[in-house]
Amino acid sequence: MDHRMTRTTTGNRVRALFILLLAASCTNTSGPDVEHDAEEHVPQQRSGPPTPLFDPDSAYAYVADQVAFGPRVPGSPAHKACGDWIVRRLRAFGAQVTEQQGVVTAFNGQKVPMRNIIASWLPEAKQRVMLCAHWDTRPFADKDKDRPNEPIDGANDGGSGVGVLLEIGRHLNELVAPVAGDAPGIGVDLIFFDVEDMGEPANAMVGERNSMDSWCLGSQYWSRGPHVPGYNARFGILLDMCGARDAVFYQEAISMRYAAGIVRKVWRTADRSGYGDRFVPETKYFVGTDDHDVINRVLRIPTVDIIEFYEPTGGFHPSWHTHGDNITIIDPATLKAVGQTVMEVVWSER
């Protein structure tokens, strides 16, 4: 652009810009169903390192490592061992790790130990991005005809999101490393929520309790009392059931209601990154509740859910809450599409 404009041309352009801005301010584009849509943040340009390549084999190995512990049902030895392993991994990646431990009440009145794990890079930074997933697994296979009372492996529902986050975490020191003469960097938090998947079974008879409130107990706990008082972030991205072979991700309806601008940011980034066939810019109403719903409603941090929509079922993958949710359905190519997209989004915030 040639900046050597005449005074008359400059005045005309200023008046035209004022008229355009006035017209835009009088137009409501959010729609009646959007409660607090977030505009796409324009990142500050920094001369930091380029976005690293997401290693799908590494992410797959992290999923397999979780499954090898056995079902990660809260209160079980496998759950404790896996949680300890996650903490060790995060600390090895240079994160400051905070744990929230408490007791929550399940749909049937059972008292359940809860352990949220929060890993922070550049914890002193005021500007932050939050990535999250749940790391517990379903204590029963209530969608399976065989062994419905036994816990599941949770390779996809639980394991896949954690695997992607751990692979991203492996690179986060590169993002927050100081650059000479640069502005302060953005902080990143990876949050691993517990007791997400102990919600009321569809055929349960437990009185009048709202079954939706029986899910996402770890994120409910964290949202009521974050690890940092007054915690806030520019936006959040939740990963759930994001590792199955040939998975396709539509724009989930709760995400569109609360954080449509961030949804558009993520899906456009996926398209630019070569994953437009995986991230379809069409809204689907299929998630009743998830951790992002709690975060949006309670903390009002615009948070989106990257979660597979499976066309033949009109909802979740057929392995959902069955013993079919095992390592055989996990595909490194799907983990790559999700992980690289999320990394591109986060690195663009520098």
Specify the pTM: 0.87
pLDDT for 212: 83
pLDDT for 221: 98
Q: Is residue 154 part of a domain?
A: yes
pLDDT for 61: 98
Instruction: With cut-offs at 50, 70 and 90, classify the pLDDT of residue 29.
Output: very low
Give the model confidence (pLDDT) of 155-211 as tens digits: 999 999 999 999 999 999 988 876 655 666 799 999 999 999 999 997 654 444 467
Full residue range of the structural domain in which residue 225 is found:
32-200+207-347
* 35 touches 257 (CB < 8 A): yes
pLDDT for 210: 60
Q: How far apart are CA 205 and CA 202, in angstroms?
A: 9
DSSP of 286-321: --S--HHHHHHHHT---EEEEE--BTTTTBS-TTTT
Encode 183-197: b = buried (16+ Cβ within 10 Å), e = exposed: eebbbbbbbbbbbbb
- From 47-56, 96-105, 268-277, the region with the lowest mean pLDDT: 47-56
Give the model confidence (pLDDT) of 220-251 as tens digits: 999 999 999 999 999 999 999 999 999 999 99
**Is 2's pLDDT higher than 80?**
no
* Count of structural domains within the chain: 1
Q: How far apart are CA 91 and CA 141, in angstroms?
A: 33
Q: How far apart are CA 298 and CA 321, in angstroms?
A: 27
- From 110-114, 141-145, 182-186, 217-221, the region with the lowest mean pLDDT: 182-186
Q: How far apart are CA 143 and CA 317, in angstroms?
A: 12
Q: Is residue 322 part of a domain?
A: yes
pLDDT for 151: 98
Residue 20 burial (C-beta neighbours within 10 Å; 0-12, 13-18, 19+) = exposed
* 70 touches 135 (CB < 8 A): no
Rounded to an integer, the average pLDDT of 139-149 is: 97
Instruction: With cut-offs at 50, 70 and 90, classify the pLDDT of residue 32.
Output: very low
Residue percentage of the chain with pLDDT more than 90 = 79
pLDDT for 331: 98
Q: Is residue 227 part of a domain?
A: yes
**Is 262's pLDDT higher than 70?**
yes
Rounded to an integer, the average pLDDT of 111-134 is: 97
**3 compared with 280, residue with greater pLDDT:** 280
pLDDT for 85: 98
**Is 317's pLDDT higher than 70?**
yes
pLDDT for 259: 98
pLDDT for 322: 98
Q: Is residue 19 part of a domain?
A: no
Question: Mapping DSSP to helix (H, G, I), strand (E, B) and coil, where does residue 346 land?
Answer: helix
Q: How far apart are CA 223 and CA 90, in angstroms?
A: 22
**Is 269's pLDDT higher than 90?**
yes
Q: Is residue 3 part of a domain?
A: no
pLDDT for 15: 40
Q: Is residue 17 part of a domain?
A: no
Q: What is the mean pLDDT of the chain?
A: 87
Q: Is residue 337 part of a domain?
A: yes
CATH number at residue 52: 3.40.630.10
Q: How far is the CA of 321 from the CAs of 118, 139, 211, in angstroms? A: 26, 9, 16
Rounded to an integer, the average pLDDT of 137-155 is: 97
**97: amino acid identity, one letter:** V
Rounded to an integer, the average pLDDT of 39-46 is: 50
pLDDT for 208: 44
pLDDT for 249: 98
pLDDT for 33: 45
Q: Is residue 1 part of a domain?
A: no
HEC string of 238-274 equals EEECCCECCCCEEEEHHHHHHHHHHHHHHHHHHHHCC
